[in-house]
Chain A
Amino acid sequence: MKQNLYTFLTLVVLASMALSACGGKTAETPAAPAQPEAPSPTQSAAPESPTFSGTATITFTQEPDSLNPLYTTMFFSGITRDFWLKGMWSFDDDNNPVLELAAEVPSAENGGLSADGKTIVYKLRNDIFWSDGEPITADDFVFTYDMIMSDKNVVQSRYPYEDYVTGVTATDPKTVTVTFSEPFAAWLTTIFTYVLPKHVLQPVFETEGTLDNAAWNKAPTVGVGPFVFSEWESGSHLIFKANPNWIHPPKLEQVFIRIVPDDAAQEAAIIAGDTDIGVFLSSDQIEKLEAGGTVDVIAVASGYDEGWFLNVSPVNAHPAMLDPNVRKAIALATDRFTIVNDLLDPEINPVNSTYWDGTSPYGNPDLKPYPYDPEEAKRLLEAAGWVDSNGDGTRDKDGVELVLRYITNTRELRKNVQAVVVQQWSLVGIGAKLENYSSDVYWNGYNDGGPQAQGIYDIAEYSSVGSFPDPEASANFLCSEISGPENPDGANWQGLCDEELDALLMEQAVTLDVEKRIELYHQIGKLMYDKVYYIGMWLDPDLWSVNKRLQNVRLSGATPFWNVHEWTVTQ
Chain B
Amino acid sequence: MTTYILRRLGQAVPQLFIISVILFALMQAFGDPVATLGARTPPKPEDKERLRRMLGLDQPAYMQYVTWLVGNDWQKLDMDGDGIAETPGQRKGILRGDWGNSLVTRRPVLEMIGERLPNTLILMITAEIIIIVFSLAIGLYSALRPYSLFDNIVTGLSFVGYSMPVFWLALSLMYLFAVNFRRWGLPYLPTVGMFDPAVGKTPAELIKHMILPVATLAIISIAGYSRFVRSSVLEVLSQDYIRTARAKGVRARWVVWRHALPNAALPFITLIGLDIPFLLAGAVVTERIFAWPGMGRLFIDHTERADFPMLMGILMLISIAVVIFQIITDVVYSLVDPRIRLE
Chain A interface residues (CB < 8 Å from chain B): 1-2, 5, 9-10, 12-17, 19-20, 23-24, 55, 57, 59, 62-63, 65-66, 71-76, 151-152, 154, 156-159, 162, 212-213, 217-218, 233-237, 239, 254, 256, 258-262, 264-266, 268-269, 271-274, 292, 438-441, 443-446, 448, 453, 465, 483, 488-491
Contacts of A483 in B (CB 8 A): 45
A17→B176 CA distance, assembly (Å): 18
B178, A268: Cβ atoms closer than 8 Å: yes
A55, B51: Cβ atoms closer than 8 Å: no
Chain B interface residues (CB < 8 Å from chain A): 31-32, 35-51, 54-55, 79-81, 87, 101, 104-107, 112, 115-116, 119, 134, 138, 154, 157, 171, 174-175, 177-179, 182-183, 187-194, 196-200, 202, 204-205, 207-208, 211, 215, 288-291, 293-294, 297-298, 301, 306
Q: Which one of A12, A237, A266 lies within 8 Å of B207 (CB-CB)?
A: A12
B187, A262: Cβ atoms closer than 8 Å: no
Q: Which one of B138, B189, B204, B294 lies within 8 Å of A19 (CB-CB)?
A: B204
Contacts of B182 in A (CB 8 A): 272-273
Closest A residue to B80 by beta carbon equals A151
Contacts of A13 in B (CB 8 A): 187-189, 208, 211
B38, A265: Cβ atoms closer than 8 Å: no
A65→B38 CA distance, assembly (Å): 10
Q: How far is the CB of B192 from chain A (nearest CB, A)?
A: 5
A24, B199: Cβ atoms closer than 8 Å: yes
Interface contacts beyond A151-B87, A239-B197: sample of 19 additional A-B pairs, CB < 8 Å, sorted by A: A1-B138, A12-B211, A13-B208, A65-B104, A75-B41, A157-B43, A159-B44, A234-B115, A236-B119, A264-B171, A265-B174, A265-B290, A266-B192, A272-B182, A272-B188, A273-B182, A274-B192, A440-B306, A444-B35
A76, B157: Cβ atoms closer than 8 Å: no
A444→B34 CA distance, assembly (Å): 9
A12-B207, A258-B291 known; A65 and B35 CB under 8 Å?
Answer: no
A66-B105, A159-B44, A162-B46 known; A9 and B211 CB under 8 Å?
Answer: yes
Contacts of A213 in B (CB 8 A): 101, 106-107
B44, A157: Cβ atoms closer than 8 Å: yes
Q: How far is the CB of A469 from chain B (nearest CB, A)?
A: 15
A490→B36 CA distance, assembly (Å): 18
A72→B192 CA distance, assembly (Å): 26
Closest A residue to B45 by beta carbon equals A489
A409→B196 CA distance, assembly (Å): 37
B207, A260: Cβ atoms closer than 8 Å: no
B202, A489: Cβ atoms closer than 8 Å: no
Q: How far is the CB of A252 from chain B (nearest CB, A)?
A: 12
A269→B182 CA distance, assembly (Å): 12
A63→B116 CA distance, assembly (Å): 14
Q: How far is the CB of A442 from chain B (nearest CB, A)?
A: 8
Q: Which one of A15, A236, A269, A445 lies within 8 Å of B191 (CB-CB)?
A: A269
Closest B residue to A4 by beta carbon equals B134
Contacts of B134 in A (CB 8 A): 1
B42, A443: Cβ atoms closer than 8 Å: yes
A156→B106 CA distance, assembly (Å): 11
Q: Which one of B190, B200, B289 lies within 8 Å of A274 (CB-CB)?
A: B190
Contacts of A273 in B (CB 8 A): 182
Closest A residue to B141 by beta carbon equals A1
Closest A residue to B115 by beta carbon equals A234
Q: Which one of B35, B54, B157, B205 lies within 8 Å of A443 (CB-CB)?
A: B35
A-B contact pairs, 28 of them (CB 8 A): A9-B177, A10-B187, A13-B189, A13-B208, A14-B187, A15-B204, A20-B202, A72-B37, A73-B38, A74-B38, A152-B79, A156-B38, A162-B46, A233-B115, A234-B116, A234-B293, A235-B298, A254-B197, A261-B297, A265-B174, A268-B179, A269-B291, A272-B182, A274-B192, A440-B35, A443-B35, A443-B42, A445-B45
Closest A residue to B212 by beta carbon equals A9
Q: Which one of A23, A254, A440, A448 lies within 8 Å of B199 (CB-CB)?
A: A23
Q: How far is the CB of B297 from chain A (nearest CB, A)?
A: 6
B45, A488: Cβ atoms closer than 8 Å: yes
A14→B190 CA distance, assembly (Å): 13
Q: How far is the CB of B293 from chain A (nearest CB, A)?
A: 3
A66-B105, A151-B79, A441-B31 known; A256 and B197 CB under 8 Å?
Answer: yes
Q: Which one of B46, B187, B193 lies within 8 Å of A258 (CB-CB)?
A: B193
Closest B residue to A450 by beta carbon equals B35
B205, A20: Cβ atoms closer than 8 Å: yes
Q: How far is the CB of A158 from chain B (nearest CB, A)?
A: 7
Contacts of A265 in B (CB 8 A): 171, 174, 191-192, 288-291
Contacts of B38 in A (CB 8 A): 73-74, 156-157
Contacts of B49 in A (CB 8 A): 445, 489
A16-B204, A62-B39, A441-B32 known; A159 and B47 CB under 8 Å?
Answer: yes
Q: How far is the CB of B249 from chain A (nearest CB, A)?
A: 34
Contacts of B51 in A (CB 8 A): 154, 156
B291, A261: Cβ atoms closer than 8 Å: yes
A152→B80 CA distance, assembly (Å): 8
Contacts of A259 in B (CB 8 A): 291, 293
Contacts of B290 in A (CB 8 A): 265
Contacts of A1 in B (CB 8 A): 134, 138, 154, 157
A483→B46 CA distance, assembly (Å): 12
Closest A residue to B193 by beta carbon equals A258
A66-B106, A234-B112, A235-B297 known; A262 and B211 CB under 8 Å?
Answer: no
A272, B179: Cβ atoms closer than 8 Å: yes
